[in-house]
């Protein structure tokens, strides 16, 4: 039985559309005046352009695996140079927008374009070390997962590695004083992988995030080397200090420190500025708000009994 065709849509009357356009314009004006915003063009970095930049950087870091499918080995250096040039052009433009936005919010004069160019140059120089860290992450995933058949499979398929590529990039930008750009990159990775890593988090080499869905790692978390984390793990804050006016105090250390070679299994929640000692194992679904000695094994029964 065939369905009857839907009736053609009827456009809204011109006067109704115009009334909504005017109402939206008035709301934009009100909001911009309240937040000291100008009307002289794009004011904030673009999610779309930053997504393209991360794709370019991923290809430049791993050209024969994450680069274009038609790339030939003899053209590898040319591709990397061309792609990095395009990525740095985007970064200079987007960094200039963020710096200008920050200056406007403070009431300062707009920074020079040279300031954005210098940040882009400093970021560019970090990329060889970023590649070293990512190689250690890929190797950790391959060695830590018996289902992994090759490092290439890990790089191409594993969401934890994809999230770490974005995090390694975002973290360098965060350290350079571009928190908005770095947060956009982190949230793009979060949307793609289900893994939420704040760009301020410090993660040592050889990190393995297995499966990854639902992992949350907060801004001031510090992870040592060769840390292994499974799905639905939260490294979060226990409390949020406020000032005398009741406003949240920003930037205070409030997330866990996880020392080298610790393992945190699926569903565990670790809150506050506590330390998970070297080589400790935190079992699945544990709720933990206390520090754990090196080499400890903490199970759900232990955490419920308060013996941790």
Which residue's structure tokens are 């050889």?
206
| DSSP SS3 for 223 | strand
pLDDT score recorded for residue 308: 45
DSSP 116-133: HHHHHHHHHHHHHHHHHH
Q: Is the dihedral of CA 152, 136, 125, 169 positive or negative?
A: positive
Residues 47 and 190 in one domain: yes
Element (H, E) at 284: none
Dihedral angle computed from the Cα positions of residues 111, 115, 117 and 119, in that order, rounded to the nearest 10 degrees: -130
Which residues sit opposite 28 in a β-bridge?
Answer: none
The rounded distance, in Å, linking the Cα atoms of 174 and 181 is 8
Domain tally for the chain? 2
Angle at 261 between CA 259 and CA 264, to 5 degrees: 85
Whether residues 186 and 288 share a domain: the answer is: no
* Assigned domain for 273 exists: yes
pTM for the structure as a whole: 0.90
Q: Which structural domain range is residue 274 located in?
A: 214-308
For residue 8, what pLDDT is reported?
63
Q: Where on the phi/psi map is residue 94: left (φ > 0), alpha (ψ -120 to 50), or beta?
A: alpha
Is residue 208 domain-resident? no
Sign of the torsion angle spanned by Cα atoms 196, 279, 137, 167 = positive
DSSP per residue, 49-87? HHHHHHHHHHHHHSHHHHS-TT--GGGHHHHHHHHHHHH
Q: How far apart are CA 298 and CA 282, in angstroms?
A: 5
Same domain for 100 and 164, yes or no, is yes
Nearest alpha-carbon partner for 135 in 87, 205, 84? 205
Domain membership of residue 29 (yes or no) is: no
Judge if 162 and 218 occupy the same domain: no
User: Are 169 and 256 part of one and the same domain?
Assistant: no
Mark which of 194, 225, 256 sits at the end of a domain.
Answer: 194
Rounded Cα distance, 288 and 284, in Å? 11
pLDDT of residue 11: 67
**pLDDT of 138:** 98
- Beta carbons of 274 and 237 less than 8 angstroms apart: no
Is 202 a domain residue? no
3-class secondary-structure state, position 297: strand
What pLDDT shows up at residue 42? Answer: 76
140 found inside a domain: yes
Kindly give the parts of the chain with pLDDT less than 70.
1-11, 38-41, 303-308
Q: Among 194, 223, 250, which residue terminates a domain?
A: 194
Whichever domain contains 134, its CATH number is: 1.10.3130.10
DSSP annotation of 214 reads: T
Residue 209 lies in a domain: no
């Amino acid at each position: 039985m065939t369905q009857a065709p839907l009736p053609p849509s009827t456009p809204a009357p011109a006067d109704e559309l115009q009334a909504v356009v005017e109402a939206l314009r008035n709301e934009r004006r009100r909001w911009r005046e309240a937040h000291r915003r100008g009307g002289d063009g794009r004011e904030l970095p673009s999610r779309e352009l930053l997504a393209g930049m991360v794709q370019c950087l991923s290809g430049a870091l791993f050209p024969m695996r994450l680069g274009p499918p038609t790339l030939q080995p003899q053209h590898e250096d040319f591709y990397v140079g061309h792609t990095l040039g395009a990525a740095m052009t985007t970064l200079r433009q987007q960094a200039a927008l963020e710096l200008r936005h920050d200056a406007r919010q403070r009431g300062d004069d707009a920074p020079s374009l040279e300031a954005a160019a210098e940040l882009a140059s400093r970021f560019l120089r970090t990329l060889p070390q970023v590649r070293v860290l990512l190689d250690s992450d890929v190797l950790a995933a391959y060695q830590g997962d018996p289902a992994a058949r090759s490092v290439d499979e890990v790089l191409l398929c594993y969401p934890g590695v994809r999230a770490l590529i974005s995090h390694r990039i975002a973290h360098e930008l965060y350290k350079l004083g571009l928190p908005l750009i770095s947060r956009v990159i982190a949230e793009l990775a979060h949307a793609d992988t289900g893994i939420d890593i704040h760009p301020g988090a410090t993660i040592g080499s050889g990190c393995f995030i297995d499966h990854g869905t639902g992992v949350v790692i907060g801004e001031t978390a510090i992870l040592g080397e060769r840390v292994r984390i499974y799905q639905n793990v939260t490294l979060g804050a226990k409390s949020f200090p406020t000032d005398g006016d009741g406003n949240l105090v920003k930037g205070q250390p409030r997330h866990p420190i996880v020392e080298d070679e610790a393992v945190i299994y699926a569903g565990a929640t670790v809150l506050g500025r506590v330390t998970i000692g070297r080589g400790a194992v935190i079992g699945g679904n544990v709720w933990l708000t206390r520090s754990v000695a090196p080499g400890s094994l903490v199970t759900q029964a232990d955490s419920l009994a308060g013996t941790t």
